[in-house]
Structure 1
Amino acid sequence: MATYLDFEKPIAELQSRIDELRRTAEGGDVDIAAEIAPLQAKSDKFLREAYSRLTPWQKTQVARHPERPHFKHYAAGLIDDFMPLGGDRAFADDQAIIGGLGRFRGRRVLVIGHEKGDDTTSRLKHNFGMGKPEGYRKAIRLMQLADRFGLPVLTLVDTSGAFPGIQAEERGQAEAIARSTEACLNLGVPLVAAILGEGGSGGAVALAAGNKVLMMEHAVYSVISPEGCASILWRTADKAAEAAEAMKVTAQHLLELGVIDGIVPEPLGGAHRDPARAIGALGDAIEGALGELDGLNPDALRQTRRAKFLAMGRAR
Structure 2
Amino acid sequence: RPADADPAAYTAEAQLAAGAADAVVRPEELRETLGRWLRLLTCPSTTPAPPPGALGECAVLPATGWDAVRRARSPQRPRATAYLDAYFTDRAAISGDRCGGTDPHGMLCGFGTHEGRTVAYAAQTGTATRPAGYRTAARLIRLADRLGIPVLTLVDTPGAANDAEAERQGAGAAIADLFAAVAGARTPVTTLVIGEGGSGGALALAAPGNTWATPDSYFSVIAPELAAAILKRPPREVEATADQLRIRPQDLVELGVIRGTVGG
Length-normalised TM-score, structure 2 = 0.74
Q: Does 1:232 align with 2:241?
A: no
77, 96, 100: which one pairs with 2:110? 100
Contact conserved, 1:195 with 1:219, CA < 8 A, in 2?
A: yes
Contact residue 182 and residue 205 of structure 2 kept, 8 A: yes
Tell me how large the CA RMSD over aligned residues is. 1.7
Matched, 1:83 2:92: yes
Q: Distance in 1 between matches of 2:163 and 2:152?
A: 28
The counterpart of 1:57, out of the listed 36, 55, 66, is: 66
Residues of 1 paired with 2:250 and 2:62: CA distance?
12
Q: Per-residue CA shift, 1:201-256, capped at 9, x if unaligned?
A: 11111111344100112310001111111111134333210110110001111111
**Secondary structure of 1:204 counterpart:** helix
Q: Is the 8 A contact 2:122 2:153 kept in 1?
A: yes
Higher helix fraction: Structure 1 or Structure 2? 1
Q: Find the partner of 1:154 among 131, 152, 155.
A: 152
CA positional deviation for 1:168 = 0.7
Q: CA deviation at 1:257?
A: 0.8
CA distance in 1 between counterparts of 2:124 and 2:251 reads 23
Tell me which amino acid in the other structure corresponds to 1:112.
A
1:67 equivalent to 2:65? Answer no
- The 5 Å alignment of 1:290-301 reads none
Report the counterpart of residue 145 of structure 1 in structure 2: 143
The equivalences for 1:1-40 within 5 A come to none
2:262 corresponding residue in structure 1: 264
- Give 1:193's aligned amino acid: T
Cα distance in 2 for partners of 1:235, 1:164 equals 23
> 1:247-262, aligned counterparts within 5 Å?
247-262=245-260
Provide the identity percentage.
38
Report the Cα distance in structure 2 between the residues aligned to 1:140 and 1:261, rounded to whole angstroms: 23
Larger Rg: 1
Residue 52 of structure 1: how far off its partner (Å): 6.9
Q: CA deviation at 1:55?
A: 1.3
Measured in 2, the distance between the counterparts of 1:74 and 1:107 equals: 17
**Which amino acid in structure 1 is aligned with residue 128 of structure 2?**
M
Number of residue pairs matched? 206
| SS at 2:95 equivalent | coil
The residue type paired with residue 99 of structure 1 is: C
Question: 1:206-221 residue pairs with structure 2 within 5 A?
Answer: 206-221=204-219
Shift of 1:106: 1.4
From 116, 119, 138, the equivalent of 1:109 is 119
Per the alignment, in what secondary structure is the counterpart of residue 204 of structure 2?
Answer: helix
User: 2: distance between equivalents of 1:192 and 1:52?
Assistant: 21
Residues 166 and 106 (structure 1), Cα distance of their counterparts in 2 relative to 1, 3 Å cut: same
- Specify which structure has the bigger relative contact order, considering alpha-carbon pairs within 8 angstroms and separated by 6 or more residues: 2
Quote the residue 1:38 is aligned against: none
Change (3 A) 1:58 1:70: same
- Whether the 8 Å CA contact 1:191–1:211 is kept in 2: the answer is no
Report how far residue 53 of structure 1 moved.
Answer: 6.7
Residues 186-205 of structure 1: matches in 2 within 5 Å? 186-205=184-203
- The CA distance in 2 between the partners of 1:155 and 1:237, in whole Å, is 33
Structure 1 CA distance for aligned equivalents of residues 118 and 61 of structure 2: 38
Aligned-partner residue type, residue 123 of structure 2: G
SS of the counterpart of 2:205? helix
Instruction: Find runs of 4+ consecutive structure 1 residues off by over 6 angstroms.
Output: none
Q: Is the 8 A contact 1:158 1:197 kept in 2?
A: yes
Q: Secondary structure at the match of 1:202?
A: helix
8 A Cα contact 1:230 1:238, kept in partner: no
- Shift in CA distance, 55/221, structure 1 to aligned 2, threshold 3 Å: same
SS at match of 2:247: coil
Look up the equivalent residue of 1:176 and give its one-letter code: A
Encode CA deviations 1:108-128: one digit per residue, 9 max, x unaligned: 010111113xxxxxxxxxxxx
Q: Is the 8 A contact 1:218 1:250 kept in 2?
A: no
Q: Which runs of 5+ in 2 are unaligned?
A: 1-56
With structure 1 as the length reference, what TM-score do the two structures score?
0.63
